[in-house]
A and B are shown apart, each in its own frame.
Chain A
Amino acid sequence: MGGLSVAWLTLIVLIPLAAVVVRSFDEGFGAFWDAITNPQAVAAIKLTVGVSFIVAAIDAVMGTLIAWVLVRDEFPGRRIVNGLIDLPFALPTIVAGLVLLALYGPTGPVGINVAYTRVALLLALLFVTLPFVVRAVQPVLMGLEREAEEAAESLGASAFTTFRRIILPALRPAILAGVGLAFGRAVGEFGSVILISGNLPYKTEVASVLVYGQIESGNTTGAAAVSVFLLVVAFVVLLGISFIAKRGADR
């Protein structure tokens, strides 16, 4: 029975991914290297990784804040708001792009138009990565024993100090795990960015869009090479999360 599951995974996931790796080196290491060091690719990769880092950082802060408000605060409609957090998971990415375009694009009612800019990119990635940190932090926050905080308070610590020295360290593994997932998602995101960012090479073209363009134009080697880069990033992120999660659990 175990064999069946492994076979399924291999057939559906592992063999296709292996094909990408093989294809990227099909024309030799030189071609591989050229594919990921040509100026357009470099620009796309730098943009992708850079924006993803920024997005992950913003997610870390806002995600923790939102989780905090959802767990520790009480207000009418809190349950509905909690349910809304999963909206980016339930919405197809292409619709997410459309959604942001409706408000922040050329036809937006409030006069903000960030279409075809890096800000649009940021918005799209913030949208699709919103749930990761929130959902990672919430259960940990809910399970925190208040006694440690109460002890700190009785010893004279301010609310902020208590947060910084008692609560935050306890949340750190969860935040990092959420950030890891958010980063991994942002790096590979496609559907939500193609409408709103305009995909302008060197300006708003991310790696996934570059790969798409290369596939369309028949340059599968180049596409495969950049894809391998993205795959390596994905794998490293996954391993990192697994490691952090294990360390956090061992505590």
Chain B
Amino acid sequence: MAIEARSITKRFGDYVALDDVSVHVPDGCLTALLGPSGSGKSTLLRVIAGLEAPDAGTVLIEGDDVTRRPARTREVGFVFQHYAAFKHMTVADNVAFGLTVRKRPKAATRARVAELLELVGLSHLGKRYPSQLSGGQRQRMALARALAVEPRVLLLDEPFGALDARVREELRAWLRRLHDEVHVTTIFVTHDQEEAMEIAEQIVVVNEGRIEQSASPAQIYDEPATPFVMSFVGPVTRIGDRLVRPHDVQVLTEPRDEGEQAVVTRIARLGFEVRVELLPPEGEPLTAQLSRAEFEQLEITEGQIVQIRVDPTGVTKEPASA
């Protein structure tokens, strides 16, 4: 087990940021800490890095108890949301920094820097200053800088949060490829569930200082442990007092025994899928998501009364407490 956080509690004054939180990250795994703002995910990352000291609990990296050790000695690579570039140094000097402070021989340092710059695609920018780089380039520099000293683990704090949507997507895929190549145990913090689902091998969902679930992306989506996880990670709608995924809502034009009636209040065609808003006679409005094919087969119109039921063969398992 490369990273283990056991029973971490962290308070800021009266505010409890982390409440008895435990996380395991296997060797070489790319894990996402996913949660809304203020959930404590960044705090947890910083506790693992040694940038914050927990009030209780232990942190182990590759079996070593590093809880009382400063960040400097933990051999962690940390990447900040706003890059934390050393503005007064060139890109090359930034990347070399960890090696420079360890007094490595200059030739070896230069070689390693060149190697890393090539890895992240910034070879031709070594002599520039961070202010002359785009946001995406700066973040790649930050990654190269963190990797230069061969850290045991790589920690990224909302690494793409400050970037444009398009750059974010590019870097997301790029990070995944980088991880496949370099295989460092990595944890990254994000509030974007799509990002987590797309690249992580393991997702840890954090909310209000507690872990809601820790599983693979498929399990998180199909077998959410709590209502929070279910609604955070994908779309949800309510039928009666059940929490259901809109694509698990079946719309039927012929009456059946189970299921209830509802009026179609709105149909929105969204390209490849169709969203149908329905209103049952007593109850809250709900949404069903149909594929184009399903929709065209049904031939329903607004105002029509239809039957709705939860697809019994639907994949999503309901959370324990709905």
Contact present between A and B (CB < 8 A)? no
Q: List residues of A whose CB falls within 8 A of some B CB.
A: none
